[in-house]
Chains A and B, each alone.
Chain A
């Protein structure tokens, strides 16, 4: 037996034995539910012990499935393995299907079909919508035609037809994003970057720390701009300012890295909380 196989076997045997022990003593991963007004709501084990709740086997299955997927995905940290591959494939497949179904019922039905044939959609899909067509309803035929053209790429012949709506999507998205960035990230940031050097507080006069912050921010922005200004060779005073720019960038990247670490640890924490509290009932 190879070393890796031995490690896996030992880990699985120990984990399985411990799970069996927990199952027989406290009931691992069991979800208890109580019926209130015809609806089942999850309750804690005390209600079950008191005889007012029952085991919810469907939700219990859900907890075990979630635990399997959590451990399956985490097992990649040891090395690539079939459990990880199964979990990864299921996540990808489920996500794609979920997105498609959600897009169909939240956009295609109410916003496209519901505007072209409102009475028909109201009769079988969305009783809440008005059966009457709105003014300019025929404008919605354009996205319908574009949608059909986009799906044409699945046909054996005439795949080029899909390029026209695709060109429309790319063009409008580029224009939309350009305007968004110009306004919010370029013009507004120039204005935000050039604040008053002296921060005046209405009550106490000059606010020392705000003034320091404004000066540091302005100098940092200028130093970074000099670093990215390549028309002049980075020598002498320009080189020194550019070096300050590098330091500012490094501090920014460090802060971003710190925040990323914080985020990842929080995500690990919630999965471990799930495993410990909901699955293993350790909490």
Chain B
């Protein structure tokens, strides 16, 4: 048995993992979320916004991380819209603009049709240059952004007329998939101006351990991976939507079902792998 397990083709493990994720999706298994302090901190920071406050929505992710970050982007947008703040969408990764379009289409146009483009929200689009973009716009937004994503002159956009730089933003909401992302926003926007710029973020699981040290000084709160998204989503749904929300506001919760089963499988495999390892070592010791 030990030899069989030690030489097991890894493709059986892949198949097991596929089934552990596919079956909960097909059966619709999901569990109740209990919001953690991190999720509550993020929620509260946005709750502190007043109507008319300026919020920079940095959508630095693409389809490759949409599974993890899409649900939190949806919930972020919903809460900021509910607070009647002004949304300035921006992206410093090439695929970010598609994600911004999707958020605007699915949340703002669908659920807040009264909000007017250019007065309540604006899409400033993508600029290349990675952290260089942040470094410039933190002191001079118009140095890089002469137009919005549609090509309209920034001086003709009502909500942009009095915005000179990022220090005038009341909050930065960063959703980040990789480099450049939340880390670069902390490094080049928040750290040089700790008294002027506040930021909350949501990131992939890979990035989360690298960003936790920034809390609470440089980051007011952070949603780590799909777990953080599901917890925050619950807070937003409970506060603003109530019973029977649209499925788009439950994506995080829905994806936590497969997480639980897949993690149990993963834990089981790690224990099994260690048992096989120690058994083999004991056998080699006896033979020696």
Cα A276 to Cα B23 in complex, Å, equals 11
Stretch binding the partner chain, chosen from A12-20, A26-34, A255-263: A255-263
- Kindly report which residue of chain A lies nearest to residue B71, judged by CB atoms: A266
- Beta-carbon contact of A255 and B209 below 8 Å: yes
- Kindly report which residue of chain A lies nearest to residue B184, judged by CB atoms: A180
Interface residues of A in 72-98 (CB under 8 A from B): 77-78, 98
- Beta-carbon contact of A102 and B94 below 8 Å: yes
- Beta-carbon contact of A266 and B68 below 8 Å: yes
- Beta-carbon contact of B218 and A184 below 8 Å: yes
Cα A282 to Cα B26 in complex, Å, equals 8
Q: Which of A176, A184, A267, A269 contacts B64 (CB 8 A)?
A: A267
- Beta-carbon contact of A259 and B205 below 8 Å: yes
- Beta-carbon contact of B259 and A128 below 8 Å: no
Distance of A94 from chain B, by nearest CB (Å): 11
Q: B220 interface residue, CB < 8 Å from A? A: no
Contact A99/B67 with A107-B128, A110-B146, A259-B208 known, Cβ cut-off 8 Å: no
Q: Which residues of A contact B94 (CB under 8 A)?
A: 98-99, 102-103
Interface residues of B in 146-177 (CB under 8 A from A): 146-147, 150-153, 155-156
- Beta-carbon contact of A269 and B258 below 8 Å: yes
Q: B204 interface residue, CB < 8 Å from A? A: yes
Please classify the interface of chain A as helix (H, G, I), strand (E, B), loop, or mixed, using the class held by over half of its residues: helix
Q: Which residues of A contact B205 (CB under 8 A)?
A: 258-264, 266
- Tell me the number of A-to-B contacts counted with CB atoms below 8 Å: 147
Cα A264 to Cα B265 in complex, Å, equals 14
- Beta-carbon contact of A273 and B25 below 8 Å: yes
Q: B242 interface residue, CB < 8 Å from A? A: no
Q: A2 interface residue, CB < 8 Å from B? A: no
- Beta-carbon contact of B150 and A265 below 8 Å: no
Distance of A91 from chain B, by nearest CB (Å): 10
Cα A234 to Cα B70 in complex, Å, equals 47
- Beta-carbon contact of B262 and A78 below 8 Å: no
Cα A191 to Cα B191 in complex, Å, equals 12
Q: A177 interface residue, CB < 8 Å from B? A: yes
Contact A184/B187 with A176-B135, A265-B21 known, Cβ cut-off 8 Å: yes
B interface residue numbers (CB < 8 A to A): 11, 14, 17-18, 21-22, 25-26, 64-68, 70, 94-95, 97, 125-129, 131-132, 135, 144, 146-147, 150-153, 155-156, 184, 186-188, 190-192, 194, 204-206, 208-209, 213-214, 217-218, 224-227, 255, 258-259, 262-263, 266
A interface residue numbers (CB < 8 A to B): 77-78, 98-99, 102-103, 106-107, 110-111, 114-115, 126-130, 173, 176-177, 180-181, 183-185, 188-189, 191-192, 252, 255-256, 258-273, 276, 282
Known: A261-B263, A264-B205, A272-B22. 17 other contacts (CB 8 A): A98-B95, A102-B128, A103-B128, A128-B150, A128-B156, A129-B147, A180-B191, A184-B187, A262-B205, A262-B225, A265-B263, A266-B68, A266-B226, A268-B67, A270-B255, A276-B26, A282-B26
3 residue pairs, one from A and one from B, having the closest CB atoms: A270-B67, A263-B205, A259-B205
